Amino acid sequence: MEIEVREVLDGRREDDPVWALIDELGQGDWVRFTAGFHLSSHLLAAYSPDTRLMGFCRYIVQPIGPDTGCPPITVQGQEVHEAKILAFGVPERWRRRGVGTALQRAVIAAAGRQGCHQVRSHSSGDNVENHQLKLRLGFAVHPIVRDGDDRGCYFILPLPRRG
Ligand SMILES: CC(C)(COP(=O)(O)OP(=O)(O)OC[C@H]1O[C@@H](n2cnc3c(N)ncnc32)[C@H](O)[C@@H]1OP(=O)(O)O)[C@@H](O)C(=O)NCCC(=O)NCCS
């Protein structure tokens, strides 16, 4: 199926129809979350050829390190940035048709254009479908115990170096 992914131009405007879907999937807190070290925030939405909304993904660009309480990673004195996916969802009626994969690929492409070193996310232990999707896309996996959840993982995809 043809899937168009585009950025919701002002992701903070909650009158955009994507917000009803974000709330339906219970991910509002992760789309609204902001932190001082975020450099930019991006909300992507996926549409069918007849413009039906099929899913969303929110990522932020940030220096690598501060969100885990660590100092920024640098290369030759320059901070290295990453795209971190904070929210990601496809409603059940549209699953297993490649929508989630199209959204992830759009983030990977945009992160490359934005000069990021990697794409990263954390996924809790009950999000097994997301784990499968990330592994299939070639993300490296780092299991971690967080808030008593010992099946959660970080997923990291290094991006090709520019120059
Ligand atoms: C994770 C999610 C976004 C995937 O969306 P999707 O559009 O169904 O994903 P795709 O169709 O692109 O799936 C790609 C591949 O991922 C894997 N996958 C997806 N869902 C799966 C499932 N339920 N069981 C096993 N593998 C699964 C498969 O390898 C699949 O390829 P295939 O259909 O050819 O076998 C969707 O399941 C979802 O919204 N889940 C609930 C919210 C969530 O977990 N969000 C992530 C928060 S961290």
Q: Determine contact, residues 46/104, Cβ cutoff 8 Å.
A: no
Closest residue by Cα to atom 44, ligand 1, is 127
Closest residue by Cα to atom 40, ligand 1, is 89
Closest residue by Cα to atom 19, ligand 1, is 129
Q: Would you say the CB of residue 97 lies under 6 angstroms from ligand 1?
A: yes
For residues 161 and 84, which has the higher predicted lDDT (pLDDT)? 84
What is the CA(107)–ligand 1 centre distance, in A? 16
For residue 98, what pLDDT is reported?
98
Task: Grade residue 161 by pLDDT with cuts at 50, 70 and 90.
Answer: confident
Read off the pLDDT of residues 49-79 as tens digits, 9 standing for 90 and up: 999 999 999 999 999 999 999 999 999 999 9
Give the domains, in start order, of the chain with CATH numbers: 4-158 (3.40.630.30)
The Cα 29–Cα 70 span in angstroms is: 24
What is the CA(103)–ligand 1 centre distance, in A? 11
The Cα 9–Cα 73 span in angstroms is: 30
Q: Would you say the CB of residue 74 lies under 6 angstroms from ligand 1?
A: no
pLDDT at 163 over 70: no
Tokens of 128: 């097994």
Angle at 124 between CA 86 and CA 64, to 5 degrees: 45
What is the CA(31)–ligand 1 centre distance, in A? 19
Task: Grade residue 13 by pLDDT with cuts at 50, 70 and 90.
Answer: confident
Q: How far is CA 63 from CA 10, 12, 99, 108, in A?
A: 22, 22, 28, 16
Q: Determine contact, residues 119/111, Cβ cutoff 8 Å.
A: yes
Read off the pLDDT of residues 111-134 as tens digits, 9 standing for 90 and up: 999 999 999 999 999 999 999 999
Task: Grade residue 8 by pLDDT with cuts at 50, 70 and 90.
Answer: very high
Q: Would you say the CB of residue 89 lies under 6 angstroms from ligand 1?
A: yes
Q: Provide CB contacts within 8 A for 131, sequence distance 6+.
A: 123, 141, 153, 155
Q: What is the reported pTM?
A: 0.97
Percent of the chain with pLDDT over 70: 99
